[in-house]
Structure 1
Amino acid sequence: MSGKTSNLVVSTSVASNAYHQNDKGEIILESGLKAGLKNRMINLIALCGIIGPGVFIGMGSALASGGPAGLIAGFAIVGVLVLGMMSSIGELNSAFDFNFSVHGSRYISKGFGATVGIYYVIIWITNIIAEYVSLTATMETYTTVIPTYGWFLIFWFIFTLFQTLNVSWWGESEYFLGFLKLGFLTGFYIFAIIYAAGGIKDKSPDNPFLHYPLRSGFKGIANSFVYAGVFYSGVEGVSMIAAEARNPRKAIPTAVRSTVFRIFYVYFGLSIFYGITVAYNDPMLTDSSKVMRSPMTIALTNAGWANSKYFVTTIVWITCFSSINSAIYFASRALFTLAKEGFVPKCFTIVDKRGVPYVAIHTIHLFGFLSILSISSGSSEAYGYIVNIAGVACFIVWTAILVTHLRFRWGWLKQGYSLESLPYIAPLFPWINYVCIVLGVVLTLVQSWSCFVPFDYKTFIDGYILLPLFPVFWFCYDYFYFKKGIIKYDEMDFETGKRPDLDDTVGAALDEETGHEKSLIAVDGVVNDEDFSELHHRHMKSSTQSSF
């Protein structure tokens, strides 16, 4: 570091150096959350967490609208934005373990951070609603004896009970489900190669990628932007996970580096292997059944497996379960953070002795009942509008993260800190940020461009309502609630929130007499620990610099 040391007032926010052990020996951070997510959990969640039901069902609509070449182009362009954004998260979250809404409030303004956090909650609430619809729909493939709302109530209570377990259970479940999803995906890739190569007797897809590469030209590519934005959502979740990670300075850079693999293996891989097995004009892509519209189902059926829909339904069910499980986690932690920072009522900061923010969890999960709107034909239109706003919210949040990173880096250097003291240094700064910010703005604007010809005011409002609301929320928070504006570079806080990696003997403070790890607990509200300051300095200097 730059040698700066000071007595730090312990923040009541999620940004704090302090932690202690509960009666079970679990590490509880000053924020109240449990540091229960291990490196292996975070790495696999980062790798497989974004594999949701959309890659098996929604990709069918994406393939039909743009063709495989359109999909690849769309995912490549949006992928550049994702790479830049994840690079920013790597630098921000490896240095400080709180999420990007808090970064925004510390390096731009309180109102900016609050607005980003609110938009992120919106993303995951809409995701919860959409995935409940998909989950209940898959169950109807097996039986129609239980009505849709019955399945919803059953799963709602299951998720409610599961989310009240400590965060380690959530991490282990996503770790296990991640392996399953990765296995399903790899298995399909192997099948697609064999099928496309003529390895199945009397069955051949006749190379649809060659004959039907792109549909509707640029319009097809532009339509792919919408799908890419939705399918990529969740990749930024490692920033939320950092707050409950045992070793954020090790785990977050590793998770960020896996972004390239995720983009190529998951999205480019699916675009290619769906493209070589299913033509974009295959009539089954417009089937009334969601599962039957899946390119995976179509490929397996055309290859001779008549009952493949049951296999794909099982895969979709597993991914829906994982997706809802993650959505509740991300939304509740985002709401918890907003409350800790004073952006929403403090009641959402209540946690139990295991570090579970149950008030935030149950409040968020109640929004799942909106999925019942899809049952009624009269309410289905409203349901569609609710879900569609998630795409534009993603692009806005990603762009905000890139802007926050710009301010962070400039403030960091202006206050005299060295780049070498950062555990992870974002490559190609600041040019990658500039390019990705422009890209984020363009993608946000073109996402609903089809509503102009012919003009559809409902689609226009749905696609663009969040754009003008962002500066409105930002302004109202800053000038009416906090009564503060943009934070100056020399006023930025780069000290609070430097939590050491708990499993690192270099990063853990040791008691001089016993040699055991000691808790950095505040005395009279102040952390005055020179050992910790020096220890953190050594740990940061010893961290390996890395890029993609």
Structure 2
Amino acid sequence: MKSNEKDDISINSAPQYTESSLPKNSKWQQFKDSFKRVDTTNSNINLTDVEKANQLSNNNDLHRSLKSRQIQMIALGGSIGTGLLIGSGGALAKGGPASLLISYGLVGTMVFCVIHALGELCVAFPVAGAFSTYATRFVDSSWGFAVGWNYAIMWLIVLPLELVAAAMCIKYWNDKINPASWVAIFYVFIVAINLFGVKGYGEAEFYLTILKVIAIVGFIILGVVLVCGGGPNHEFIGSKNWKIPFTNGFKGLCVTFITASYSLAGSELVGLTSAETSNPHKTLPKAVRQIFWRLFLFYFLSLTFIGLLVPADSPELLGSSDTSASPFVLAIKAGGIYALPSIFNACILISILSVGNSAVYGCSRTIQSLGAQGLAPSIFAYVDRKGRPLVGLIISAIFGLLCFLSAYKDEETVFNWLLSVSGLATIFSWFNIGLCHVRFRLAMFKQGKSMDELIFKSVTGIYGTIYSMGLLLLVLGVQFWTALFPLGSNGKANATSFFQNYLGSVVILVFYLCHKIYTKNWRLYIKLKDIDLDSGRRDVDLELIKAELEQERELNKSRSVFIRVWKYWC
């Protein structure tokens, strides 16, 4: 018996790697070993597809290295990019200043409800893949397969698009250098950041978002000065540019709705971070609450001043898709300030690189989650000893090479068709979050579980989620109409426009049906009584956490109203 124990000990304590003769403490050997796969546990083959997916997604090998300050910055400004800084100019031209505020305001309320619903789910189930995993857990594995892959493909395509947009930013200063050279530099920069693992992504987003926040806040302050006539031109602008609040009537408003939805894409990324933070019950609620400030400060206030400072009929708004058409740059130019446009162009470049960085992070984590759930080849679930989803990163890097199509003469046509494949991915992802939240709440009720078990609850509740789902269906409806009969078509159907804007709905349907046929799973949804509400939760003392929260509430009662508001929302 002793000899067997000795043999076991010798086997377990033997060095795991023998392919190299380098000593264990060699930096080069440690670097090579870091790329090796972390040991994983095998699942029970007798489980159903959903049970197996739940079990495998719970065995999370990603490192819980994201800090509270990093998650808060990711939530605060991680998705601010070309949609707001450049795309809002086209929305202003097509819809007018009133349409801009109405559409962003309504879509903002929808996103507020969706992210709070996501926060509730992520605090309860901080598993890898977040909302793609929840689709399998609360709806059906085929729906999880379709939503997950559609979301991953979106980020695969967004990366090269953002890299090309970054090169276009440089052309603002110097258009004589081949854009492919700048694309190569940005490509290496973003891939290198993500090779440092979640710490690299978190630190990069922290500092990049700080710069974005400073830029937007600075623009709002400048906007107040310019509107009141305090700029170099000393011209009081007021509501002069609001003479035509709606430029294309109701259809213009509908087009602006779609732009607003795309501009807010990436808000859900905070959910993917839940598996890589050590205390999701503390960090995520605070990060989710900050969505209010991002919507109000960065979108609503900044676009209010864009509508006041930039005429909707300005020919420069639709002159191109590069930074020279950014309404922020045009507003600064119109104010007679000649140095600031270049500075703000640099801020746009930073924002674009930030979104490209987020694209690699979001894509790699989603692909890893799909592999872990059994919805992709098992190699896709590969996580190395540094907690990096290595296969997901490699796939994202390979697709990122599409950025070199910028040297091709018809690159815009190619990118438009690539983007059309996943053009509606954000809409479907948000709708999926709402659907999962509703089914989660209904399953809690059906299985007799108390809402007191939830550490964090959505402030808008289930009714806010239902409202957001209804608004998303409305956006899909108007997208269908404006895609088939675009502005300027004089009521004639345009097949090219339709497929470039609505092909994403066909793609997700194909994914869904192909998975049903392949797995022969004809179940539409999981019954509420069969939904797994237990696995995936962190091993935490629920009573201790509740006691801490109650202690925090009692402490808040002794503070001033200002401090209480600040503590809650900031």
TM-score (norm 1): 0.85
Q: Is 1:328–2:366 an aligned residue pair?
A: no
The residue aligned with 2:514 is 476
For 1:53, the equivalent position in structure 2 comes to 82
Q: Distance in 2 between matches of 1:177 and 1:286?
A: 28
Alpha-carbon contact 1:203-1:304 (below 8 Å) kept: no
Structure 2 match to 1:283:
315
Report deviation, 1:396: 1.4
Residue deviations 1:278-319 (CA, integer Å, cap 9, x gap): 111123323347222112211222222234432222111111
Instruction: Quickly say closer, same or farther: Cα 1:470–1:95, change in 2 above 3 A.
Output: same
Query: Deviations 1:319-347 (Å, cap 9, x if unpaired)?
Result: 11111111110111011101110111111
Is the contact between residue 44 and residue 175 of structure 1 (CA under 8 Å) also seen in structure 2?
A: yes
1:491 to 530, 545, 554: 530
User: Structure 2: how far apart are the matches of 1:131 and 1:14?
Assistant: 34
The answer to whether the Cα contact below 8 Å between 1:63 and 1:71 also exists between their aligned partners in 2 is yes
Find the partner of 2:258 among 209, 215, 226: 226
2:209 alignment partner AA: G
Contact 2:232 2:335 (8 Å CA) reproduced: no
Specify the alignment match of 1:445 in structure 2.
477
Q: Distance in 2 between matches of 1:83 and 1:340?
A: 30
Match of 1:245 in 2: 277
SS at match of 2:410: helix
| Structure 1 residue 125 corresponds to structure 2 residue 156 | yes
Asked whether the 8 Å contact 2:114–2:434 carries over to 1, the reply is yes
Structure-2 separation of matches of 1:246 and 1:13? 22
* 3-state secondary structure, aligned to 1:426: coil
Matches of 1:15 and 1:120, distance apart in 2: 22
Q: Which has the higher helix share?
A: 2
Whether contact under 8 Å (1:392, 1:447) holds in the other structure is no
1:523 aligned residue? none
Mapping for residues 100-499 of structure 1, pairs under 5 Å: 100-204=131-235, 206-207=237-238, 208-288=240-320, 290-450=322-482, 451-452=484-485, 453-478=491-516, 480-481=518-519, 483=521, 485=523, 486-499=525-538
Q: How does 1:19-38 map to 2 (within 5 A)?
A: 30-38=59-67
Of the structure 1 ranges 238-247 and 447-456, higher mean CA displacement relative to structure 2 is found in: 447-456
Equivalent residues of 1:106, 1:492 under 8 A apart = yes
Distance 1:219 1:264 in 2: 25
Structure 1 residues 547 and 91, CA gap change in structure 2 (3 angstroms): farther
**In 1, are the aligned partners of 2:57 and 2:373 still within 8 Å (CA)?**
no
Please give the per-residue CA displacement for 1:224-275, whole angstroms capped at 9, x wherever unaligned: 1121111100111111111111211122222222222221111111210111
Between the aligned partners of 1:174 and 1:482, the Cα distance in structure 2 is: 42
**How far apart are the structure 2 equivalents of 1:249 and 1:17?**
19
How many residues in Structure 1 have an aligned counterpart in Structure 2?
A: 497
Q: Per the alignment, do residues 94 and 482 of structure 1 end up closer, same or farther by CA in structure 2, a change over 3 Å counting?
A: farther
Paired with 1:474 and 1:290, the residues of 2 have a C-alpha distance of: 36
Amino acid at match of 2:159: I
Residue 539 in structure 1 maps to residue 545 in structure 2: yes
Give 3-state SS (helix, strand or coil) of 1:267's partner. helix
Cα distance change on mapping 1:254 and 1:16 into 2, 3 Å: farther
- The structure-2 alpha-carbon separation of the partners of 1:388 and 1:471, relative to structure 1 and needing over 3 Å to count, comes to closer
> Quick one: distance in 1 between partners of 2:538 and 2:527?
24
Q: Which moved more, 1:384-393 or 1:177-186?
A: 384-393
Name the structure 1 match of 2:31.
Answer: none
Q: In structure 2, give the amino acid aligned to 1:459.
A: S
RMSD: 2.6
Instruction: Name the SS for the 1:235 alignment partner.
Output: coil
User: Do structure 1's residue 64 and structure 2's residue 102 form an aligned pair?
Assistant: no
TM-score w.r.t. the length of structure 2 is 0.81
> 8 Å contact 1:421–1:541 — kept in the other structure?
no
Cα distance change of structure 1 residues 328 and 406 upon mapping to structure 2, 3 Å threshold = same
Letter in 2 for 1:95: A
1:303, 1:458 → 2: CA distance?
A: 39
Q: Distance in 1 between the 2:426 and 2:306 partners? A: 25
CA distance in 2, matches of 1:135, 1:150: 11
- Alignment partners' CA distance in 2, 1:154 and 1:229: 30
Q: Distance in 2 between matches of 1:353 and 1:448?
A: 46
Superposed CA deviations along residues 459-486 of structure 1, whole A, max 9, x for unmatched, are 2122223324434422432453263622
Deviations 1:60-98 (A, max 9, x none): 111111122111111122123212211210211110102
Query: How far is the alpha carbon of 1:13 from its aligned partner?
Result: 5.9
* SS of structure 1 residue aligned to 2:424: helix
The alignment-based identity, stated in percent, is 29
Asked if structure 2 preserves the Cα contact closer than 8 Å seen for 1:371 and 1:383, the reply is no
Which structure has the larger Rg over C-alpha atoms? 2
* Shift in alpha-carbon separation, 1:210–1:468, aligned structure 2, 3 A: closer
How big is the shift at 1:433? 2.7
- Aligned partner of 2:110 in structure 1 is 81
- The unaligned stretches of length 5 or more in structure 2 are 1-42, 45-50, 486-490, 554-566
CA separation in 1, counterparts of 2:175 and 2:346? 16
Q: Which moved more, 1:250-259 or 1:402-411?
A: 250-259
Indicate if the aligned counterparts of 1:45 and 1:174 stay in contact, CA closer than 8 A.
yes
Per the alignment, residue 23 of structure 1 pairs with none
Shift of 1:489: 1.9
Question: Which one-letter code corresponds to 2:446 in the other structure?
Answer: K
Listed as ranges, the gaps of 5+ residues in structure 1 are: 1-8, 19-29, 501-506, 508-534
Asked if the contact 2:232–2:337 (Cα under 8 Å) also holds between the matched residues in 1, the reply is: no
2:301 is paired with a residue of what secondary structure?
A: helix
Partner Cα distance (1:361, 1:232) in 2: 24
Q: Which residue of 1 aligns with 2:561?
A: none
The question of whether the paired residues in 2 share the 8 Å contact of 1:39 and 1:246 is answered with: no
For 1:404, the aligned partner's letter is: C
